[in-house]
Homo-oligomer: A and B are copies of this chain.
Amino acid sequence: MTEAKSNFLIQCLRGASQVFFMRNALTGALFFLAIAYASHVSGSWASLIGAAVGVVVATLTARLLDCDETSVSSGLFGFNGILVGAALPDFIAASPQLWVYVVIGAAASTVITAAFSATLTSNWKIPGSTGPFVLTGWLMVASAYSFGGLNVIGDTPKLASDYVQGLVSIPSPIELAEIVFRSIGQVYLLDSAISGAILLLGIFIASIPAGIAAVAGSLAAAITSIAMGAPPALVGQGLYGFSPVLTAMAVGVIFLKPSPKAAAYALLATVTTVFVQGALDVILAPSGIPSFTAPYVLTMYMFIAPKKLIAPHPHKTVPGHLVDARRSKMLAPRLRDG
């Protein structure tokens, strides 16, 4: 009994660490410390409680559904749940309905994780990653506008034309370092450079190359977003950097074998993520939902999907189509190649 309980605790802590692709309970414990620090600073503990509830419910749901044991034990069914639990109290005011919401959202995130595995991963070897969190989070924040028991906090929906574009300002080295740490913190929706530093420590404990990729990705994102003239307030909060951090880690060291070529490829992916961040902020604005880690998820899917030896379909007839006129005596058009 005690063994099973401690096992379960370790699975939950590993789930916390898997947000940054790690499988390490100590790292997960440090991640909880980082959330606690940010809660202490802000004075609001709902995110910390939400994170704990989220990872517990998600992991428990996976056990009840007899999901793949190794995956459950590695925390692979917990990291989307912890993000759902940490994110919802950030966007919805505390109420009894919020906590019902967190529990159901975390349980649903486990089902959606299994659904992504059975589709994206099963056929295409694309990792679902935090895609299930993004989908669950979008649906639940949008849904909250419809319910009297749930009050959405923060920005109201708007059109892209309402955007205030930023003046470019070059930050000092200290400001830049703060942006780098804040960007890492925002992966857990934490608006604190110190929390970001604790998270980074946790990553380094589990994997030095992963820690280096996190810093490099955060820096590349900061430079790109400043050079393109992103809104300074958002850049300063690390809101242009948290998705690129994940892209740099995922493409640079986790899902591809590190090499100079993979590093160049990861850099292109990281810079692209900054643009996708800008795009999704605009596209989602009218719906009043945040982009969460969708810029990372979308970019990573696109950059991890390509496999060797698979060519685009040539501009020739597709095989076995429903409308396949076998009896037709007309010939296919001959293209004159040149």
Contact = CB atoms under 8 A, between A and B. Distances in A.
A265 B259 CA distance: 45
B302 A115 contact: yes
A231 B277 CA distance: 33
A323 B165 contact: no
Given A115-B302, A323-B262, A335 B23 contact: yes
B278 A145 contact: yes
Contacts of A272: 104, 108
Interface residues of A, number: 140
B320 A308 contact: yes
Contact of A140 (B21, B68, B156, B275): B275
Interface stretch (A36-44, A48-56, A187-195, A202-210): A202-210
A322 B101 CA distance: 24
A119 interface: yes
Contacts of A317: 254-257
Interface in A135-160: 138-150, 156-160
A170 interface: no
Interface in A243-289: 253-262, 265, 268-269, 271-272, 275-283, 285-289
B118 A306 contact: yes
Contacts of A26: 338
A249 to B, nearest CB: 9
Given A206-B335, A268-B111, A282 B313 contact: no
B113 A312 contact: yes
B104 A271 contact: yes
Interface of A: 14, 18, 21-27, 65-68, 70-71, 74, 76-77, 97, 100-101, 104, 107-108, 111-119, 121-128, 138-150, 156-161, 163, 165-168, 205-210, 227-231, 253-262, 265, 268-269, 271-272, 275-283, 285-289, 301-325, 328, 330-338
